[in-house]
A and B are shown apart, each in its own frame.
Chain A
Amino acid sequence: DAGVTQSPTHLIKTRGQQVTLRCSPKSGHDTVSWYQQALGQGPQFIFQYYEEEERQRGNFPDRFSGHQFPNYSSELNVNALLLGDSALYLCASSLPQGAETQYFGPGTRLLVL
């Protein structure tokens, strides 16, 4: 049973650039959530996708956008990168009925220079 996968594992970008992160949910899951975790902090909710639509969004600017594909995989896009965007980006998948239980992927560590 494949768990949640994310790519790439690490990424280095410079300020102003754009980045795309990818996530494949756990087998049988159709809901994907994205989180940002800064060093020493808990994960902060960015948004959640279900049925290819953004279902809920946290307090993040429009520079953060996403997409969900028909196979339930998802992308997180961040435009105009800032130094403060450096963080671990986590993808979590869940079932819609059991959506309270989220399973996290290994994360993508983004460094913005």
Chain B
Amino acid sequence: QKEVEQNSGPLSVPEGAIASLNCTYSDRGSQSFFWYRQYSGKSPELIMSIYSNGDKEDGRFTAQLNKASQYVSLLIRDSQPSDSATYLCAVNKGGSYIPTFGRGTSLIVHP
């Protein structure tokens, strides 16, 4: 089992829809969870971090964490073509400041 798993996609949604990106992780002691956005040919950009069970909202983005199920998700409301990118899930295992990344999910928002 990979430490951080994501469906590579692509996930295709129409403009204005909600995009739902999912991530599971294997280490139960993980404490910190991050979502990065990476445009093609560019470096990752941090968009959300979450540390506690539940939802965390920032603008059109909502991160959801369920530690019991070892599951973290990212919802993007009112998706725009400019949201088309690869979304990387990153998890810090317990006691570590080094994130382990999933392979990313490619999101395509079509007009």
Cβ distance A97 to chain B, nearest Cβ, rounded Å: 10
Decide: A104 and B103 in contact? CB cutoff 8 A: no
- CA separation between A33 and B98, bound complex, in Å? 9
Is A48's CB within 8 Å of the partner chain B?
yes
Decide: A42 and B88 in contact? CB cutoff 8 A: yes
Q: Give the interface size class of chain B.
A: 20 to 34
Decide: A105 and B103 in contact? CB cutoff 8 A: no
A104: nearest residue on chain B (CB-CB)?
A: B43
Number of interface residues of A (CB under 8 A): 22
B99: nearest residue on chain A (CB-CB)?
A: A102
Tell me whether chain A's interface is mostly helix, strand or loop, or mixed: loop
Per a CB cutoff under 8 Å, which of A48, A88, A101 touches B98?
A48
Please indicate the chain B residues that have their CB under 8 angstroms from the CB of A101 in the complex. Answer: 46, 49
Residues of A within 8 A of B (CB): 33, 40-45, 48, 56, 58, 88, 90, 94, 99-107
Apart from A45-B99, A99-B97, what 20 extra A-B contacts exist at CB < 8 Å? A40-B103, A41-B103, A42-B88, A42-B90, A42-B101, A42-B102, A42-B104, A43-B88, A43-B101, A44-B101, A45-B100, A48-B97, A58-B98, A100-B32, A101-B46, A102-B46, A102-B99, A104-B43, A104-B44, A107-B42
